[in-house]
Amino acid sequence: MADNRSINTYEQGKLQKRLNQIEDRISSKQFLNSEGLDKKQQNYTHLNLFQVIIDLLQEEDVLDDAISLQASDGDEEVMNALKGSLEQNRIAQFIASNIKEDSEFVLLSGLGSAWPMIRDHSLLNALHAVIGDKPLVLFYPGKYSGLDIHPFDTLQS
C-alpha cells in the first residue's frame, strides 16, 4: 500500500508544475486578446497596478506634480503627499470602476512595480468590499504561505 504522504507530495508536485505554467499562458498574446480556449470569447478584466496608479493620478490631475515632487524632494515626500490619492480603499474603488461588467474574473499584475504605493494585503481587503465574490487573481513577486504574503521573498505583508 502506498504511503499517503508520498501521494500527497506527488500530487503537490503535479499541481505546482501546472501552476508554474499559468503566468506564461495568461501573459501570452492569445490570452490577452481573448483568443483560444475553444475560440470562445473570454470575459475577464486584466489590470496592471502600476498603470492603475498612473491613471488614478491623471484622473485627479496630480500626476505631473507628483513626478516633479519626486524628482525634487524624493520618494518619501511624494509618498506623504499622495497618501490621500493612494489610499487603498480609493484604489480599490478605482479598480472596481474599471472592471468590465461582464467579466467573469479579474487579473491584477504589476504589484512589484507599484509597491510600496500599493500594499497587497490592504488592497485585497479593500477590493473584497467592493467586488464581492468575483474571482480575483493577484500576481506578485514573492511567496504565499497559505497565511501570509511575503513580497519579494523577504518582506512580510
Model confidence over 57-104: pLDDT tens digits? 999 999 999 999 999 999 999 999 999 989 999 999 999 999 998 888
Is the per-residue pLDDT at 128 higher than 80? yes
Is 93 a domain residue?
yes
User: For residue 111, is it within any domain?
Assistant: yes
| Domain assignment present for 69 | no
Number of domains in the chain: 1
More confident residue, 134 or 30: 134
Per-residue pLDDT at 156:
52
Question: Would you say residue 17 has pLDDT above 50?
Answer: yes
Q: Which of 39-53, 102-116, 143-157 has the lowest mean pLDDT?
A: 143-157
- Average pLDDT over the chain reads 81
92 to 17, 29, 36, 49: CA distances (angstroms)? 32, 27, 30, 11
Whether residue 3 lies inside any domain: the answer is no
Q: Is the pLDDT of residue 6 over 60?
A: no
The pLDDT value given to residue 12: 73
Residue with cell 497596478: 49
Split at pLDDT 50, 70, 90, the class of 1 is very low
The verdict on residue 20 lying in a domain is no
Asked if residue 60 belongs to a domain, the reply is no
Whether residue 12 lies inside any domain: the answer is no
Which among 92, 110, 107 has a CA at the least distance from the CA of 48? 110
The answer to whether residue 63 sits within a structural domain is no
Per-residue pLDDT tens over the stretch 104-118: 899 998 888 887 788
Domain of residue 100: give its range: 42-51+86-151
What is the pLDDT averaged over residues 19-44?
A: 68
Predicted model pTM: 0.71
Burial 7-39 (b: 16+ CB within 10 A, else e): eeeeeeeeeeeeeeeeeeebeeeebeeeeeeee
